[in-house]
Structures are given as structure tokens and as C-alpha cells.
């Protein structure tokens, strides 16, 4: 077991901790939103945003590559994980670009 193996274990543990915190905050936020639900325009915007993100994730999953990937001398060919990795990469890039465009538009609109 080398030094790099120790770092990999620490990174994996940190990812699990961050995932658990993110899921916990998401569940709490959803519960709090349902508890204090009021009909406003912000709820429609929230539903539209959630729907748009879900559609984006579905589209990027369906268009993701399934060709095997070679890394560190190993070939990875599991189509589910290849598609999921591409989905998160392309969705993240898309969301960053869209948010940047919205910020620029909002800045020059005033």
C-alpha cells in the first residue's frame, strides 16, 4: 500500500461525506419547502428549474458515449458508468455556460 493509496481512500471517504451532506441538505430543503409551501411565482420558477435540470440530465445521459475508456492500463467498458460520467461532465459544463450567460444578460439589462 503506497502513499497514493492512502490519498485515494481519503478522497473516497471525503466524497461519501460530501454526498451524505448534500443529500441531507436537499431532503431538509425539500421538507422545509413543502412545510412552508405558498403559491407564488417562485414556486413555479422552482418547478421549472427542477424540470429543466431533469430534462438536461436525461438528454445528456442519452447522448453520452459508450465507447470503452482506457485509463492507467485498464479498460473500462461498463456502459452505465461511462454514460453517467459523461452525463455529469456535460451537464456540469452546460449549467456553467447557461449560468454565465444569464449573469451577463442580467448585468447588461440594468
Stretch 4-31: mean pLDDT: 86
Q: Find the helix or strand (DSSP H, E) in which 76 lies.
A: strand 74-76
Dihedral sign (CA 6, 12, 15, 16): negative
From the list 11, 95, 17, the residue with the least C-alpha distance to 56 is 95
From the list 68, 61, 56, 52, the residue with the least C-alpha distance to 87 is 61
Q: Find the helix or strand (DSSP H, E) in which 100 lies.
A: helix 79-109
pLDDT tens for residues 50-93? 889 999 999 999 999 989 988 888 888 889 989 999 999 999 99
For the full predicted model, state whether its pTM sits above 0.85: no
Amino acid at each position: 500500500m503506497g502513499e497514493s493509496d492512502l490519498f485515494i481512500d481519503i478522497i473516497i471517504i471525503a466524497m461519501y461525506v460530501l454526498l451524505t451532506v448534500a443529500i441531507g441538505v436537499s431532503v431538509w430543503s425539500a421538507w422545509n419547502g413543502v412545510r412552508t409551501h405558498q403559491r407564488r411565482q417562485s414556486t413555479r420558477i422552482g418547478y421549472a428549474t427542477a424540470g429543466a435540470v431533469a430534462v438536461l440530465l436525461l438528454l445528456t445521459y442519452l447522448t453520452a458515449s459508450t465507447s470503452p475508456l482506457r485509463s492507467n492500463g485498464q479498460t473500462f467498458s461498463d456502459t452505465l458508468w461511462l454514460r453517467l460520467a459523461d452525463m455529469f461532465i456535460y451537464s456540469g459544463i452546460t449549467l456553467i455556460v447557461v449560468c454565465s450567460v444569464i449573469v451577463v444578460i442580467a448585468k447588461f439589462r440594468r
